[in-house]
Amino acid sequence: MNKYWFILVFLLFTCNCNSQTHTAPQQIKERNELVRVYIEGQGVKDKRVIAAMKKVERHRFVPNNLLPYAYYDQPLPIGEGQTISQPSLVAFMTELLELKQSDKVLEIGTGSGYQAAILGELVDSVFTIEIIKPLGVKAEKLINNLGYSNIFVKIDDGYKGWPEHAPYDAIIVTCAPSDIPNPLQQQLAENGRMVIPVGKDGSVQKLILLRKRKGKIIRETVLPVRFVPMLKEDGGKY
């Protein structure tokens, strides 16, 4: 759901097709090229993450009128003022979580469901929260249609997390609050990892990696980013 990723220059690889002429072989070729150039080429090394990025079909998560751009390395609008993240950032943030198959992951900001699907390829269970009901309903339907029985969607305020299923081995947040929510820190398991953008809307934010060690939170600033804000139930911003 990010708007920009400042560490990358938005170079778009060539796509000589439109939504009517896209075929499965073309989509596979474009997806593999995207992974080769913008994910492996940008330094992502986790083989499981790379395999998931090759497997999950991003074109299923973008609006029909944007299908020609599904395998460009850029965010795309999905309605309701939100976006589907650019694939290289999805891969980068996922790699930071250092996921194991047995992990239980919480995602804040389901959006299109694309990030959740990537996580669903990598871990046993994914709990994902979306505050915008139309997006959450659509994402849940798509996730179910794609056969992900290990992804669970909830329409709610992500700031509060999902305490019923805590603690989580990893938490990924795809919208930016001005401060790191205490409920999410509390729901992080011992030795857990959290990736979250932090900062005010309209400003350059910081992508933060948190680790919980002996009950204490260790923070590391990774890079500057700009994400959509974390929303409250009344439409305000955290």
pLDDT in tens, the chain (238 residues): 544 443 333 333 333 333 334 568 889 999 999 999 999 999 999 999 999 999 999 999 999 999 999 999 999 999 999 999 999 999 999 999 999 999 999 999 999 999 999 999 999 999 999 999 999 999 999 999 999 999 999 999 999 999 999 999 999 999 999 999 999 999 999 999 999 999 988 788 999 999 999 999 999 999 999 899 999 999 899 9
At residue 23, the pLDDT reads 64
Q: Give the whole-angstrom CA distance, residue 104 versus residue 106.
A: 7
Q: Give the whole-angstrom CA distance, residue 30 versus residue 36.
A: 10
CA distances from 20 to 61, 62, 67, 187 (A): 17, 15, 9, 45
At residue 20, the pLDDT reads 35
Tokens 């309605």, residue located: 79
- pTM of the full structure: 0.89
Gap between the terminal Cα atoms of the chain: 16
State the pairing for strand pair 76-79/82-84. antiparallel
Q: Which two tokens stand for residue 197?
A: 């953008």
At residue 22, the pLDDT reads 53
Task: Just give the CATH number of 2-11+75-227.
Answer: 3.40.50.150
**CB count, 10 Å around CB of 129?**
22
Annotated active-site residue in 85, 88, 112, 125:
85
Please confirm, yes or no, whether 102 is among the known catalytic residues: no
- Give strand ranges (E) for the chain: 2-4, 76-79, 82-84, 104-108, 125-130, 151-155, 168-173, 188-198, 205-213, 216-227
Q: Is 88 left (phi over 0), alpha (psi -120 to 50) or beta?
A: alpha
